[in-house]
Amino acid sequence: MDTSIDDFDPDYAGSIAQRAMRAMAEQRIPPTPNNFAVWFRYFAGTHDDLRNAIDLLIDHNRPFDGRINQDLFETYLDSNTSAAASETSDRLHGLMNAAREFLATAIADNHSQMKAISEVTEQGRAGVDPKTLVAQLMTELEQAATRATQLEAGFAEKTRELDVIRDSLSKSEERARTDMLTGLANRRALDEFLRKAQVTADWGEPLSVLMLDIDHFKSFNDNFGHGVGDQVLRLIARVLREKVRVQDLPARYGGEELIAVLPDADVAACNEIAERIRRAIAECTIKRRSTGEILPNISVSIGVAQYRAGEAIVDLIERCDRALYMAKGSGRNRVVTEHELDRTFAAG
């Protein structure tokens, strides 16, 4: 559901605005126009995908930092995406109208040709000179051929335009499912992938997730700036994309946290891939683009968990998240699986 808010009663809209402002204050979110638009929509209940994304963040006690706030707006409310969709819709309507006109013209031409042939037939029965009849038929055929050529050219032009629109729609869909900074799948694409993977997993196929967080990323940003931090995040996203399998989905979960969903992989297989990712990142050399300075090595902590048939996806993510924070709490730059959580719980 994504309904209009323009027709809201002023008092009702005012109450939603107050709730949005209170929530932003509680979450320490700057009251910028974009942030307010996100939270107004959240409390208005007019955008299910946005509400689900925020609820998941709240359930996992995620801080609404600048990156998450920007992701929420760009993914769910950015007017540029809506404008592009509107423009594409207008172009499609134009093509449909043109197609109807072409069809009407073709039908009219067909009727005209049938009428002309009938007239020639009647004239033949009336004893008109065959040479005259042949000349009339030749003239009608030439005119029909000319009209057919024009129609064919018109159809070819519209077909090319349709190909352009198809390409535009494909790119728009890809942008709507892609995180702007890292190029990975965004939360919308992640949620869709998880829902589909869950169906298969409930039939007995293994499904695992790994979640990684950049160690000491805040201090790195503080020391070198957010521009360098973004460069590091893109680097780690590239490593994640390269180390998972073709059938897996790497995505940005929020802030400096990335996630990968691994269908047909149990904890052991997921742990092996997570270790490859951790080692590859630890071995990366990061150079500051502006100065050529070699920066301190970056490491990541990773949590791994496997889906349990019948459970909610939020429970799987929460278990993976706890494994991640155990990895960070036990020294960082390591992988922790849910099995270690179980052992710790049993020992405690």
pLDDT tens digits, 78-125: 655 444 555 555 665 665 666 566 556 656 666 666 666 666 566 666
pLDDT of residue 315: 93
Q: Which of 26, 142, 256, 338 is catalytic?
A: 256
CB atoms within 10 A of CB 224: 17
pLDDT of residue 238: 94
Its CATH class, for the domain covering 187-347, is: alpha beta
pLDDT mean over 52-59? 79
pLDDT mean over 286-306? 85
Q: Is the dihedral of CA 239, 243, 248, 253 positive or negative?
A: negative
Q: Which residue has the higher pLDDT, 172 or 236?
A: 236
Q: Where are the domains of the chain?
A: 10-77, 80-176, 187-347
CB atoms within 10 A of CB 68: 21
Q: Cα 203 to chain center, whole Å?
A: 27
Look at residues 82, 93, 58 and name the one whose alpha carbon lies nearest to residue 2. 82
Q: Which residue has the higher pLDDT, 67 or 4?
A: 67
Q: Three-state SS across 235-304?
A: HHHHHHHHHCCCCCEEEEEECCEEEEEEECCCHHHHHHHHHHHHHHHHCCCCECCCCCCECCCCCEEEEE
pLDDT mean over 12-26? 87
pLDDT of residue 178: 84
Residue holding tokens 């399998």?
245
pLDDT mean over 177-203? 88
Q: Which region, left, alpha or beta, applies to residue 314 given φ > 0 means left and ψ of -120 to 50 means alpha?
A: alpha
The pLDDT tens digits of the residues spanning 34-51 come to 888 889 889 888 787 788
Q: Output the six-digit token pair for 7.
A: 């027709």
Model confidence band, residue 239 (pLDDT cutoffs 50, 70, 90)? very high
256 is catalytic: yes
Instruction: Look up the pTM and report it.
Output: 0.59
How far apart CA 111 and CA 117 sit, in angstroms, is: 10
pLDDT mean over 154-159? 65
DSSP secondary structure of 96-157? HHHHHHHHHHHHHHHHHHHHHHHHHHHHHHTT--HHHHHHHHHHHHHHHHHHHHHHHHHHHH
Q: Are 62 and 69 in contact (CB under 8 A)?
A: no
pLDDT mean over 233-244? 94
How far apart CA 115 and CA 275 sit, in angstroms, is: 78
pLDDT mean over 140-154? 67
The pLDDT tens digits of the residues spanning 306-337 come to 999 989 999 999 999 999 999 999 999 999 99
CB atoms within 10 A of CB 326: 18
Q: Output the six-digit token pair for 218.
A: 């805040």
254 strand-pairing partners: 257
